């Protein structure tokens, strides 16, 4: 697989205020009697890129899972698109707010089939998998379309993560929650993942992403805002 053809670019600043699409208000979470956050709040606007920083054990991944509706906070409220999370049917919410984990689990078969699989779910009815769109994303990072014909069990860890991220992008969510997606990747594969996310963001102004990363240099590349949990990372 060739090296990526480019890095993600910072979105140009915009003169008009962008709408808040995801917000947290007064979130609280404790694990085994230790409080991780209390009164945590922030607002993510359209077109914004956020990084989440903090030392190990500060609850960065837990925060993403909470925002994804996978964990219920002990106090506080999450709102998406003007409605409390509790007012959403979870499948519909998770189709719009997509969580990408660090270690992907891909089905056996060709990459193309793995990318198309989510479109069989009822929540994505009305959407259709497009080889052309998938190849377009791959082209932005210098990957030939024949990559779609590879078997998933023959992919390297970096290639599997590229498929994992691309699968999330193709269903066109409003919010992407990225949980250290490049932590185990080499610099070339890291650049591919970063560039894919930036290409997705540039397609529409009503999208945003939150990215957990221990790497300060990466946070500077992929974000315009940083939320730090606990002491500075």
Query: Where are the chain's structural domains?
Result: 47-71+89-228
CATH 3.40.50.300 fits 47-71+89-228, yes or no: yes
- Measured from the Cβ of residue 161, the count of other Cβ atoms closer than 10 Å reads 26
The secondary structure of 42-104 as a DSSP string is EEEETT-EEEEE--TTSSHHHHHHHHTTSS--SEEEEEETTEEGGGS-HHHHHHHEEEE-SS-
- The residue assigned the tokens 């409003």 is 174
6-51 residue pLDDT tens: 543 344 444 344 799 999 999 998 888 788 888 999 999 999 999 9
Full-model pTM: 0.88
75-131 residue pLDDT tens: 999 999 999 999 999 999 999 999 998 888 899 999 999 999 999 999 998 899 999
- Measured from the Cβ of residue 12, the count of other Cβ atoms closer than 10 Å reads 7
């Amino acid at each position: 697989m060739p090296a990526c053809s480019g890095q993600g670019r910072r979105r140009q600043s915009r003169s008009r205020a962008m709408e808040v699409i995801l917000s947290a208000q007064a979130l609280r979470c404790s694990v085994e009697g230790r409080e991780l956050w209390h009164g945590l709040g922030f607002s993510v606007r359209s077109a914004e890129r956020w990084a989440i920083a903090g030392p190990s054990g500060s609850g960065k991944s837990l925060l993403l899972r909470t925002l994804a509706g996978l964990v219920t906070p002990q106090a506080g409220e999450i709102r998406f698109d003007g409605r409390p999370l509790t007012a959403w049917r979870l499948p519909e919410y998770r189709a719009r707010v997509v969580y990408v984990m660090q270690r992907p689990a891909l089905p056996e078969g060709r990459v193309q089939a793995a990318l198309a699989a989510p479109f069989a779910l009822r929540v994505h009815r009305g959407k259709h998998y497009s080889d052309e769109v998938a190849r377009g994303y791959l082209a932005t990072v210098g990957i030939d379309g024949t990559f779609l014909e590879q078997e998933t069990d023959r992919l390297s860890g970096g290639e599997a993560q590229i498929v994992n991220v691309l699968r999330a992008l193709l269903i066109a969510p409003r919010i992407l929650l990225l949980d250290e997606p490049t932590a185990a990747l080499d610099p070339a594969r890291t650049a591919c993942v970063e560039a894919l996310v930036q290409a997705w963001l540039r397609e529409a102004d009503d999208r945003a992403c939150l990215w957990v990363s221990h790497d300060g240099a990466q946070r500077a590349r992929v974000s315009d805002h940083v939320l730090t949990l606990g002491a500075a990372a």
